[in-house]
Amino acid sequence: MSTTAESAAPRVTLSDVAAEAGVSLATISKVLNGRPDVSPSTRARVEVLLAEHGYQRRTGATTTKAELVELVFHELDRIWSMELIDGVESVAKEQGLSVVLTVTGDRHSPGSEWLEGVLRRRPAGVVLVFSDLPPELRERLRSRAIPFVIVDPAGDPSPDVPSVGSANWSGGLAATRHLIELGHRRIAAITGPADMMCSLARLDGYRSAMNSAGLEIANEWVRFGDFHVEGGRAQAMALLDRPEHERPTAIFAGSDLQALGTLEAARSLGLTVPRDLSIVGYDDIPVSRWVSPRLTTVHQPLRQMGVEAAKLVLAAARGEDAPGTPRMDLATSLVVRDSTAPPAR
């Protein structure tokens, strides 16, 4: 969030950069403001020189008050996105700003065309729902004094990128402890894809809860799904389609959708939830209250993550820089409903 970190660099004037690049001052200005009619090669040359000289626009140097906050997704996920949008929008509205929504790029970076648009629009700040940001993109936003923050429900951004996440490890721990406290001993876990940090963090929370209770984790009880219904169903079938004494009595399902799949697998095998099997989901999306039995799950504060990200970025826009690089992990909380109970045996 430190928008003035480069101000210690030797002051360079834009005329110096123009002379060195062999272009007019007007061209430099176009590059700074993301205007068209600059050739890609000239734009690239000027950007390199600006970076080399540590160019830094002064905060508050813009003549007109920013009216926009940018919210950027790599995809509109039916489940996460709405809550995040809602959170960012509510803070923006409170502060009299409008939200520009863009879907661009892949999990790791917005598309290159996006940056020029942002430089033209000069938003108060940018909230990005990405797992990380390429260094050159961060650098350009910083040099133009456009504060940004990553909202990261899934991955683990570089330590020098301001970000808002949630406490995945604690969530996995709380889910598993709840099952242990109910008296379960044979507890399996289905987490998400192995290449997502939130999958690993939730699983580690599960392991720590099991270990501190002195409970064994059979190898086949740890499974990687896809965070969706089908992955949950398939992994749960593998766990449950075996003789009763080999079956877990409880499953930490890693996501609500995987919990739904687990519920289906149990039903298709004639098992009743929670009598024959307890299930804990993760996320607390609305559907967890609509199914029967209603899911015990771990609440993800998605809306609040949007709120905190917008507040961070708008505080930075007002020059209220937090010391260091803010990394905020919001607390998750266990919501006990009807899919968990003491084991029957």
Binding characters for a copy of itself, 74-113, by CB under 8 A (x = yes): --x-x--xx--xx--xx--x----xxxxxxx---------
From residue 140, give the alpha-carbon distance in Å to each of 60, 188, 247, 266.
17, 46, 54, 52
Residue 101: CB minimum distance to a copy of itself, A: 5
Work out whether 286 is an interface residue with a copy of itself (CB under 8 A): yes
Piece in contact with a copy of itself (CB under 8 A), picked from 65-73, 195-203, 245-253, 307-315: 65-73
Piece in contact with a copy of itself (CB under 8 A), picked from 67-75, 186-194, 195-203, 205-213: 67-75
Work out whether 271 is an interface residue with a copy of itself (CB under 8 A): no
Query: Which of 123, 250, 122 has its CA nearest to residue 175?
Result: 250
Going by their DSSP bridges, the two strands 163-166 and 187-191 should be labelled as unpaired
Shorter beta-carbon distance to a copy of itself: residue 101 or 328? 101
Piece in contact with a copy of itself (CB under 8 A), picked from 16-24, 175-183, 203-211, 256-264: 256-264
Q: Among residue numbers 184 through 243, which ones bind a copy of itself (CB under 8 A)?
A: 229
Residue 266: CB minimum distance to a copy of itself, A: 10
CA distance 290 to 256: 11
When binding is defined by CB under 8 A, the residue of 182, 257, 310, 313 that contacts a copy of itself is: 257
Piece in contact with a copy of itself (CB under 8 A), picked from 12-20, 201-209, 216-224, 261-269: 261-269
The residue with tokens 């007019």 is: 24
Question: How many residues of this chain interact with a copy of itself, rule: CB under 8 A?
Answer: 34
Torsion angle, alpha carbons of 70, 116, 111, 44, to 10? -150
Shorter beta-carbon distance to a copy of itself: residue 54 or 117? 117
In the DSSP assignment, the letter for residue 7 is: G
CA distance 130 to 289: 28
The burial class, CB within 10 Å (0-12 / 13-18 / 19+), for 90 is middle
Angle between helices 168-181 and 197-212 (to 10 degrees): 40
Shorter beta-carbon distance to a copy of itself: residue 102 or 199? 102
DSSP per-residue string spanning 58-113: PTT--SSPP-EEEEEESS--TTTHHHHHHHHHHHHHHTT-EEEEEE-SBTTB--HH
Work out whether 267 is an interface residue with a copy of itself (CB under 8 A): yes
Work out whether 290 is an interface residue with a copy of itself (CB under 8 A): yes
Residue 196 near residue 261 (C-beta atoms within 8 A) = no
Name the site residues for a copy of itself (rule: CB under 8 A). Answer: 67-68, 71, 76, 78, 81-82, 85-86, 89-90, 93, 98-104, 117, 120-121, 229, 257, 260, 263-264, 267, 286-287, 289-292
